Structure 1
Amino acid sequence: MKRSIKEVEMLLLQINEHHPLIDELLQDERKGVQAAVKKWERNLEQTRLLQQKYDEMQKYEKKYRREGFDFIAGVDEVGRGPLAGPVVAAAVILPDDFYLPGIDDSKKLSERKREEYYQKIMQSAVAAEVGIIEPDEIDQINILEASKKAMLTAVAALKTSPDFLLVDAVKLHTPYPYEAIIKGDAKSISIAAASIVAKVTRDRIMMEYDKEFPRYSFAKNMGYGTKEHLEAINIYGILPIHRKSFAPVRSHI
């Protein structure tokens, strides 16, 4: 008696490598079975690619652990470009056995994936903290210095002191040895984790501002200078959370 299509699908869910069952199913001419096998093959290939990418993104962590560093903190910031809201940085120390295939630069992930990964990172991290620099201070010290200060604030807040930092691109004045990695949020799992924590934190802040200032659509634009945001500034003026040193805002002072 042949297995039902549903039974075939359930069996395939339990197989994560080539198995004699696959050879058997390939002889089954039913379209539903062939579709199920093709889906299984696609999922298997996707899993393989994610594993490969994850292995590549552990390169820096493995290198520095071999050199004797135990607590490696990934550091990243988000929110340099927006016209409104803070710049937010995160510092995250992951355990040696952390495993989250699919982790990547937060900008490459959907909102749902970012939230899912954020929860997993916060549950598993040895330590994770954020640094937040508000618009007034951004205006005083400039956005680059504010970004650096946010990073250093996040690192200083870590409950477990790091012994090495992996930083996304920026060079820092810090007592800890570090490496600045261009596009590090796509090359290091620790920096990618920090980018996700920083992005989710900042997005939540902007969603709260959206409730307070609904005319500016902050839940959609996150403070960036979109057409609707610029139109709102033209009509309603600037807010205390706007960065007055940024050109499109400065012209409305």
Structure 2
Amino acid sequence: MNHIAATKLPLEAFFEMSKRLGITEVEIRNDIPDVVGTMPAEEVKALADKHGITILSINALYPFNVWLGDLPDRAVAMADYAAACGAQALVMCPLNDGNEVSFGDLVTALKEMKPILDARGLKGLLEPLGFPSSSMRKKATAIEAIKAAGGEGTYKLMHDTFHHHLASETDFFPEWTGLVHISGVTNPSVAVDDMLDAHRVLVDADDRLKNLPQIKALLELGYTGPFSFEPFAEEVHSLSDPEAALAISIDHVKSAL
């Protein structure tokens, strides 16, 4: 469970809700909500230990593929925090403002980031963003860059069902996938190229992103890792009872599988 699924809940309440839903693996964030910027890492670790929670990742290092300015310092700080709070990985998102980033710069960033992660026992989860404005849309590009950087032991893919659909991807890479983000889009009028994070809701029967076929394909191809709910829509964040809504979505996915 990603903390963005219940943004109004303080971290301990989020852990408690997750446990009631049968979930012991979670993701924390540095944006919505900003746990990383507001809680000491040691406090996060203590709460996770108290509730028997595993922190899969911290979302997210951005833009990881532009290794300039303050990014190296932010990367080290986030990696230090992840190690101190007991997280297993950092989610790494590419530049998404319409500007291109060369393949060479992508590889350079992965080479620079690798020793930072390795020294702390962390993995990097590369998340291609499917938006037309993204500088890295395809998972195949990420894999090629990982190989070019010699990062096979350090990096895995984040398969995001939303971004997979937006990028019109058809290839699945279960052996490269470390984590899967799931969310749905139910708005019938928005075109695929116009879909934004604000459209991302919980997965239900009206989902347009083909979450269930994507999940089934990954499982059939041998993926055995976790799936994490990551809805960005304000209508989800403002729910008075996110736990009930999440339980319904979980049941929908499980019953369909």
TM range (shorter): under 0.3
Bigger proportion of residues as helix: 1
Question: Larger RCO: Structure 1 or Structure 2 (Cα < 8 Å, ≥ 6 residues apart)?
Answer: 1
TM superposition score normalised by structure 2: 0.23
Computing the radius of gyration over CA atoms, which structure comes out larger, 1 or 2? 1
